[in-house]
Amino acid sequence: MPKQVDHRERRESIARALWRVVEQRGVAHLSLREVAQEAGISHGALQHYFASREAMLSFAMDFASEQATLRVGRGLQELGDRPHPRDVLRVMLTEMLPLHADARATSRMSAAYVLEALHNKTIHAQAHRGMAQGRVLVEQLVRQAIADGHIRPDRDPVTETNLLLALTGFTPLIELDVIEPQEALTAIDQYLDRLFTRNDHGQGQEAERSR
């Protein structure tokens, strides 16, 4: 049992080294050799944990999603019992943006594996699965919010879900310093206020009237 934990821990520390390589030196340097060097282990030792570049990348992607899920979970816990769906969506969206060191690492990994997916079917399938699962969660939330009267009943849940996920498009704008992180948060809040009935008085009243 402790041996298995060690194995897992070592794989995670290699995954973190891989993230640093992507972040500091770029995807072009994403080889077993470079990652071994960054992790401070020999090439041979790394091969004990990952047989191929693809296996390593695949684990690092899953680990990045897990870490993002954990961060969202912690954010949701802070919201207390029965949080408002607007606040739940805000946590989910903001944890996908490069707004602090951990989220930056997983966001950059995500951008790297979207590019890798373009010419690698295994990575494409894995990245598709992860993103599609996230999409299902958001759609469930949106449908429930419509059923509970938090979102106007005339909104289409599929389209609203797609628009919410598209807001991760703030990522390159933040990474290239075209907009400030605070501007992205302001825009997301503005967007959520308009989507949900409670803070948008014009639409809120309309929703009230239509009930």
Binding site residues, a copy of itself, CB under 8 A: 22-28, 30-31, 108, 110-112, 114-120, 124, 127-128, 131-132, 135, 156, 158-159, 162-163, 165-173, 175-179, 183-184, 186-187, 190-191, 194, 202-203, 206
Q: At closest approach, how far in Å is the CB of 36 from a copy of itself?
A: 16
Q: At closest approach, how far in Å is the CB of 112 from a copy of itself?
A: 6
In the bound state with a copy of itself, the residue whose beta carbon lies nearer, of 4 and 182, is: 182
Q: Which of 130, 4, 143 is nearest to 68 (CA)?
A: 130
SS (HEC) of 55-71 = HHHHHHHHHHHHHHHHH
Q: At closest approach, how far in Å is the CB of 29 from a copy of itself?
A: 8
Neighbours of 67 (CB within 10 A): 20
Residue partners of 25: CB distance under 8 A and separation at least 6 = 34
In the bound state with a copy of itself, the residue whose beta carbon lies nearer, of 70 and 114, is: 114
Q: At closest approach, how far in Å is the CB of 177 from a copy of itself?
A: 6
